[in-house]
Structure formats: structure tokens, C-alpha cells
Amino acid sequence: MRTIKAINNFKVDLFITFFLIALGFYLRTIFVSKMGADLTGVMLLFTQLTAYLNLAELGIGVAAASLLYKPLSEGDYAKIKYLTLLLSTIYRYISFLVLLIGIVIGFGIYFFIDSVNAVSHVFIYWAFFVINTSLTYSYAKHSTLLTANQQYSVVRKIQGGGKILIIALQILLLVTTHNFLLYLLVETIGVIVQYFIFKNIINN
């Protein structure tokens, strides 16, 4: 049974990964053609910086999933409750830390990167990047629980499917509106929707 689940997880992950790579490449092509080199440079810089912000997690999800696996398989609800409460607290602190570091980086961008400052509304853009990164930790506890319960394919479908839909909407907005704020807002809404989906699955 575990082997079948592992194979199914691998198939789902492989399909979503390749699809996202192809769709992401097309998105970048559209972005460059519609938004220009300056904003593309800002987008790539901010994407890289938020990737560094995600290092704050430091593999906690993997470690937590390993710790939760045994109590989940044994039905040890007291230990599951304790670990999930602990995990929830840790992710809350990480989310706050991401916001705090994001603010510090924002000041660094303002004082040290003149080329970025030349782009209008650049700090609003950066705020969206930081908030979107921070919000992903709102459902991290739920995704970790599902992963520990050998339901990684569910996690991947929600996150991967959500990302595919987000990118598709972003491409549509780039083509029709050329509005970077709307582009970023779609990401924010997508993360919030994923939170409620994960919460609903866990509660049921």
C-alpha cells in the first residue's frame, strides 16, 4: 500500500513539476515582452530575495513530518495535538520573521540599489512579495500534517494546481492589463484560497 502511494505521489509530482516548468518559461517570456526589461529585472531580483527568505524554514516541515508519522500511524492523538500546536507556533514565528527581514531588506533596497528605485511603486511590489511569502506559512502546518499522513499527492495537487491556475491568470492579466500590481494580487489571493482549502481538508 505504501509503495503504491509512493508511486502515485511520484507520478503526480513529476507531472506537476514539468508542467510548471513549461508554464513558468512561457510566463517569463510574456512578462519580458509586456512589462519591459526594468520591471523584469525587479521581478527576478525580488523572486530571488524571497527565495532566500524561505530559508527561514530551514527544513522544519520535513523534520515535523518525520516526527508526526509515527503518532499518526498509531493514532496517538495527544502527541499529534502537541506536535501540531508546537508546529503552528513555530510557523507563526517564522511568518513574523519573514515579515521583519523583508522590511529590513526593503530599506536596503531603498538605500543601496538605485536601479530598483527608478521603477515606480517598487516598494509596494516588494511588500506584496514579502506578504505572499509570509502567508504561505499560514497553511504550512496543514500541508505538513497531510504529508506525514502519506497524503503528499493531495498537498502537491493543491499547491501545484493552485500555482498552475495562478500563472494562467497572471499571463491573462499581463496580456490584457499590463498591470504588475494585479499580477501580484493574484498570487496573494491564490495563497489565501489554498489556506482555506487545506484547513477544510484537515478539519474534515
Cell of 163: 500555482
Q: How far apart are CA 166 and CA 186, in angstroms?
A: 6
Helix (H), strand (E), coil (C) string for 143-159? HHHHHHCCCHHHHHHHH
Q: Domain ranges for the chain, please list them.
A: 2-203
> CA of 132: how far to CAs of 55, 58, 126, 183, in Å?
15, 18, 10, 12
Is the predicted pLDDT of residue 9 greater than 70, yes or no? yes
Q: How far apart are CA 70 and CA 191, in angstroms?
A: 29
Dihedral Cα 92, 96, 98, 103, nearest 10 deg = 170
Give the pLDDT confidence of 111-150 residue by residue, as tens digits: 888 878 788 899 999 999 999 999 999 889 999 999 888 8
> CA of 159: how far to CAs of 20, 187, 201, in Å?
11, 12, 13
Give the pLDDT confidence of 156-190 residue by residue, as tens digits: 899 999 999 999 999 999 999 999 999 999 999 99
Cell of 162: 493552485
